[in-house]
Amino acid sequence: MLYTRWIFLWITWTMAQPFAIAVHGGAGHITPHNLPPEKVQKIEQYLREVVEEGYALLNQGRMALEVVEIAVRRLEDAGWFNAGRGAVLNEDGFPELDAGIMDGKDKRVGAVAAVSQTQNPITLARLVMERTPHVLIVGTGADSLARLWRLPPFQNQGYPQSETLWASGTVGAVALDKYGNLAAATSTGGIPRKKRGRVGDSPLVGAGLYAENGVVAISTTGHGEYFIRSVLAYDIAARLRYIRTSLPEAIQEAFQQRLEPIGGTGGVIAVSPTGEIFFHFNTPGMYRAGKDAKGTLMVGIFR
Amino acid sequence: MLYTRWIFLWITWTMAQPFAIAVHGGAGHITPHNLPPEKVQKIEQYLREVVEEGYALLNQGRMALEVVEIAVRRLEDAGWFNAGRGAVLNEDGFPELDAGIMDGKDKRVGAVAAVSQTQNPITLARLVMERTPHVLIVGTGADSLARLWRLPPFQNQGYPQSETLWASGTVGAVALDKYGNLAAATSTGGIPRKKRGRVGDSPLVGAGLYAENGVVAISTTGHGEYFIRSVLAYDIAARLRYIRTSLPEAIQEAFQQRLEPIGGTGGVIAVSPTGEIFFHFNTPGMYRAGKDAKGTLMVGIFR
């Protein structure tokens, strides 16, 4: 009897815990003029599916870390975005991918940069976190780990050059699970025609992503150099920790006071410890979707 | 007549402006038991020379950015420290160096990681800042830039394996110049027997270095993974910006509240906008030296 009572209490407890997820497919010069209506519909549909899938997993009790990895894998596999299969090429004509993942529970991090031999750098990043004593592994060293761990090889679907204007996006996901854990993940192909070996903000903790239980989970997108120089993701977290401002204010002030004065453009997605989700960008558009703790679904591309 | 008066005013002004420099050669298990007295004397002498040279350059009116680059080059060339000529080897038996430099005036940054073909990665980092639109370039991409820009090739002097206990150090420098500019630079060979491609905190803005005029310049050393996960350098700056605590308190609290709870060990050097310098470490020793705005010289190794 006691046993069934505990099960009942557990079910009641988990049903009452907030959970939420948000994803992005990049911010940039995305307008109704350069994105045809049929693409709008397809991309919005895809983002909605990714969010609904992640939300269902969280509802089943899966951890935030797992869910952001799964969501980012889906965005890497899409070929719609500048990450995984859809990655742009560097100046030497081949893709070099960057990705990072962070678990807000214990501040563990895994990241890879300038990798060319796997389609899912976010999974390689997670394995770096779980199977090595390191946090960030780059270049051929990271590629040889991808082979060692038998990750599926990279299959570039060929970036649609004529469509660069709309497919400008880094991808990312943030989530809150039922146990109060926050997690963030970001993955990108970087800037088209970048110098070989160039690394942007996406794999860098504090710049392209940050997660800390009780504070916030953030994933950013945009012109990476400016996000690195302004340490944007951790600046938002620091405002929450030290000024105790609200999350939307912290995001807005970080953009106004740090990113924009040096000329940076881009966007962020964030989830709070109570399952609110926020989107912010200073570009014409950002591919984005999310479902908050109240079950409200949001999907959008333009302002 | 007016002309000589302006020259006189300029000289008076520059003579009244504070300037300061601090350098480190790494923190670690450095004790009087494993560091023989003759090494203590030699290393202290070398650190003193680097500081006096930098201080003299600042007094002549050179910029903080130049001076931290010159100081770090001297430490890379020494062969005493785990950077430049003295770098440790990775698991595959060759050195892979990381370095980063930041100008607090305009938050410009240059960094390189996992480079093997130049002895002075700090200079390569500065050239990345000045000659490319990027902030961080890694691996073979960075090595090919070193060749393109004709930097002197790497000449490993062979890391003295028997002396690993005392020569455990990343190197770094922070400076304030007469024009109120702060700058920071950090350079390292990383962890001995690290996986190929592993990048530590040294080249990462917000982790291994940070500089912002009117706030602080910081260079860190220690177990890099923990400094990355706690975004330590920018956390100190954020405390100064948002809590308006004192610099020594900000450093101590960042260690106690962020680095130490996850098990991190290491040290930092910092210079304030008024030319005070601070050293802090939670290891038995840190190679360190500095000269503050009052002209006080400090040199030390042990607690």
Q: What mean pLDDT comes out for the span A161-189?
A: 84
- Nearest chain A residue (CA) to B137: A198
Q: Which residue of A96, A101, A135, A215 to mutate against B (max B Cβ within 10 Å)?
A: A135
Residue-wise pLDDT for A219-236, tens only, equals: 999 999 999 999 999 999
The reply to whether A100 touches chain B by the CB within 8 Å rule is no
- Please write down the HEC assignment for all residues of B71-112: HHHHHHHHCCCCCHHHCCCCCCCCCCEEEEEEECCCCEEEEE
Mean of pLDDT values over A177-182: 97
pLDDT at B184: 98
Query: Is residue B206 within 8 angstroms of chain A, CB to CB?
Result: yes
The CA distance from B141 to the nearest CA of chain A, in Å, is 5
**Residue B166 pLDDT exceeds 80:** no
Question: Is residue B164 pLDDT above 60, yes or no?
Answer: no
Mean pLDDT of the residues in chain A: 93
Site from A108, A196, A245 to mutate, B interface, most B CB atoms within 10 angstroms = A196
User: pLDDT exceeding 70 applies to what percent of chain B?
Assistant: 95
Per-residue pLDDT, B158: 53
Residue A141 has its nearest CB partner, among B195, B228, B238, at: B195
A140 touches chain B (CB under 8 A): yes
A246-260 pLDDT tens trace: 999 999 999 999 999
Q: Which residues from A are below 8 Å from B199, CB to CB?
A: 113, 136-138
* CB-CB under 8 Å, B140 with A197: yes
% of chain A exceeding 70 in pLDDT? 95
Least confident of A32-41, A157-166, B113-122: A157-166
Choose among B164, B169, B163, B131: nearest CA to B150: B131
Confidence check: pLDDT of B167 > 80: no
Q: Which residue of chain B is at minimal alpha-carbon distance from A134?
A: B225
**Domain B27-302, classified CATH 3.90.1310.10, yes or no:** no
How high is the pLDDT of residue A162? 40
Considering CB atoms only, which of A106, A109, A228 is closest to B135? A228
Which of A107, A144, A197 is the closest to B138 by Cβ?
A: A197
Domain ranges of chain A: 27-302
Contact yes or no for A192/A93 (Cβ under 8 A)? no
pLDDT confidence band for A121 (50 / 70 / 90): very high
User: Is residue B16 predicted with pLDDT exceeding 90?
Assistant: no
**More confident: A15 or B289:** B289
A164, with CB counted inside 10 A (0-12, 13-18, 19+), is middle
**Rounded to 5°, angle at Cα A284 from A283 and A287:** 85
Does A141 contact B197 at a Cβ distance shorter than 8 Å? yes
At A289 the pLDDT is 98
Please write the tens of the pLDDT for every residue from B64-87.
Answer: 999 999 999 999 999 889 999 989
Nearest CB to A194; choose among B134, B195, B207: B134
| Contacts of A241 by beta carbon, 8 Å cutoff, 6+ apart | A215, B238
Residue of chain A nearest B104, judged by CA positions: A229
Least confident of A169-173, B6-10, B264-268: B6-10
Position A74: which residue type?
Answer: R
CA nearest to B92 within chain A: A141
* B156 pLDDT tier (thresholds 50, 70, 90): low
Q: Is A146 on the interface with B (CB under 8 A)?
A: no
Q: pLDDT tier at B9 (50, 70, 90 boundaries)?
A: confident
- Between residues A80 and B139, the one the model is more confident about: B139
Bridge partners for B27 per DSSP:
B286
Q: Does B188 have pLDDT greater than 60?
A: yes
Catalytic residue among A14, A123, A132, A170: A170
Structure confidence at residue A10 (pLDDT): 83
What crossing angle do the helices spanning A139-148 and A121-131 adopt, rounded to 10°?
Answer: 80
pLDDT at A159 over 90: no
| Cα→Cα distances A238→A217, A250, B225, Å | 12, 9, 20
pLDDT of residue A14: 77
pLDDT, one tens digit per residue, over B41-58 is 999 999 999 999 999 999
Let me know: does A237 contact A205? Beta carbons within 8 Å: no
Which of B94, B96, B204 best tests the A interface by mutation, with the highest count of A CBs <10 A? B204
pLDDT at A18 over 60: yes
Is the model's pLDDT at A160 over the cut of 70? no
Contact A278, A286 (CB under 8 A): no
Chain A nearest C-alpha distance from B10 (Å): 30
Report chain B residues whose CB lies below 8 A from the CB of A242.
238-239, 242-243
The shortest CB-CB distance from B139 to any of A138, A225, A234 is to A138
Task: Tell if the CB–CB gap between A262 and B139 is shorter than 8 Å.
Answer: no
Closest CA relative to residue B218, chosen from B270, B293, B276, B171: B270
pLDDT of residue A168: 65
* Residue A169 confidence (pLDDT): 86
What pLDDT sits at residue A288? 98
CB-defined contacts A:B, below 8 A = 137
pLDDT at A165: 44
Residues 21-80 of B with CB under 8 A from A: none
Indicate if the pLDDT at residue B127 is higher than 70. Answer: yes
Nearest by CB to A234, from B206, B241, B262: name it.
Answer: B206
pLDDT in tens, A21-44: 999 999 998 999 988 899 999 999
What is the Cα–Cα distance from A126 to A105, expressed in whole angstroms? Answer: 15
Residue B154 contacts residue B187 (beta carbons within 8 Å): no
Say if B144 is an interface residue toward chain A (CB within 8 Å): yes
